[in-house]
Amino acid sequence: MKRREFVGGLAVAAGVAACSKADPEQKTVAAQAGETFEWSCVTSWPPKFPGLGMAVENLAERLERASAGRLKIKVYGGGELVPPFEVFDAVSRGAVEMGHDASYYHRGKVDAAQFFTAIPFGMNYMELNAWIHYGGGLELWRELYEPFNLMPFLCGNTGVQMGGWFNKQINSIDDIKGLKMRIPGLGGEVLRRAGGTPIILPGSEIFTSLQTGAIDATEWVGPYNDVSFGLHKAATYYYYPGWQETGPGLECIINREAWDSLPADLQALVEITCQSITLDMAAEYSHGNANSLQQLMADPNIDIRPFPAEVLQHLKIIAREIVEEMAANDPAAAKISKPYYEYLEKMEANTRISEQAYLETRTS
């Protein structure tokens, strides 16, 4: 509770600071704003689901407390108000004011949005966070969403995920052929070109589909959430690393008219609270994954193993080809792809001699 009170106080301070820099008219509006705002937020996650679902609940709770009740948000889990994959549309048309989902769910509608969640073999959590907030990513993101009447914010990250649960061994690329796997975004297209069949399912349907054989494999998140869903009871082989989800960012999207209706201090509260949720979620997943992995490692029925290097290399080649094709056919993707990979190349040099070098030393 002390930590939460500190975060709430930080958000209030940021809001006050933002107002002090605004022009006189903005300061007057903010100072006199006694109006309260009651919003609805729809999500792609099961209600109050650990990590993903609770992040939105925490966002709403912190915003209400930090604003002294001026901004109240009612959170709806996936399917409670709109289907899990229709969050983008609901917020865009103004049916609700706010949404929380992953931008790669919009593939087929706005393909370039996938850069802001996860690109196979792309940026990890720290690199994506740096690109969004300091490398120009946020400006590209907001430009991309402007025609859809949306204001996006980075709001959560799980860190590198797992490769997924499989009911068969993956010893070569031939074992991918004919594989029916729940996997969204560009990762799904990589699987398709490798000979598999990608299937899109909301989280609530994964366990039953895997258990009944409707799918042969699934990726979801990592040990923390996978154990919550009981996926370890429906499959034997647990593969790593999550080449398809290398540090997936989650998004808070706000209807543009709703955003513009907020005074400057509440806008500042939203921005800084989204950042606090991103930091908090990364810490929660590091903690939860470590604890849940111990449980899985102690289970004699679970086989935790790495993908063969030749399989990963083959998938990596396919992934880059897909991104290049997407950029060639979509001007928006082309505009984002170039700075994305330029930033990734720059970050790789630093990551190699810092995080990667240290971890290799620590585990040697």
Q: What is the pLDDT along the chain (364 residues), one digit of tens a residue?
A: 344 444 444 444 444 444 444 454 554 444 445 799 999 999 999 999 999 999 999 999 999 999 999 999 999 999 999 999 999 999 999 999 999 999 999 998 999 999 999 999 999 999 999 999 999 999 999 999 999 999 999 999 999 999 999 999 999 999 999 999 999 999 999 999 999 999 999 998 999 999 999 999 999 999 999 999 999 999 999 999 999 999 999 999 999 999 999 999 999 999 999 999 999 999 999 999 999 999 999 999 999 999 999 999 999 999 999 999 999 999 999 999 999 999 999 999 999 999 999 999 999 8
By three-state DSSP, how is residue 211 classified? helix
In CATH, the number for domain 161-244+302-326 is 3.40.190.10
Strand-pair category, 150-157 with 197-199 = unpaired
Q: What was the pLDDT predicted at 25? A: 52
Q: Which residue has the tokens 């929660």?
A: 284
**Could you give the CA distance from residue 108 to residue 15 in angstroms, rounded to a whole number?**
37
**Could you give the CA distance from residue 85 to residue 102 in angstroms, rounded to a whole number?**
9
Q: Where are the domains of the chain?
A: 2-159+246-286, 161-244+302-326
* 248 DSSP 8-state letter: P
Angle at 217 between CA 216 and CA 218, to 5 degrees: 145
Q: How far is CA 314 from CA 121, 240, 246, 266, in A?
A: 12, 15, 17, 48
Spatial contact of 218 and 210, defined as CB atoms under 8 Å apart: yes
Within the chain, what is the greatest distance between any pair of CA atoms? 66
**Could you give the CA distance from residue 261 to residue 201 in angstroms, rounded to a whole number?**
35
Do 2-159+246-286 and 161-244+302-326 share a fold? yes
List strands edge to edge, sheet with 237-240: 197-199, 180-182, 217-218, 164-166, 237-240, 303-306
Q: What was the pLDDT predicted at 4? A: 45
- Comparing CA positions, the residue from 180, 204, 201 lying closest to residue 191 is 180
**Could you give the CA distance from residue 97 to residue 87 in angstroms, rounded to a whole number?**
11
Residue 142 tokens, joined: 């907001």
Q: What was the pLDDT predicted at 22? A: 46
CA 183 to chain CA centroid, nearest Å: 14
Q: What is the 3-state secondary structure (H, E, C) of 21-41?
A: HCCHHHHHHHHHCCCCEEEEE
Spatial contact of 109 and 80, defined as CB atoms under 8 Å apart: no
Q: What was the pLDDT predicted at 34? A: 78
**Could you give the CA distance from residue 363 to residue 145 in angstroms, rounded to a whole number?**
42
The answer to whether the Cα torsion of 214, 218, 223, 226 is positive or negative is: negative
In CATH, the number for domain 2-159+246-286 is 3.40.190.170
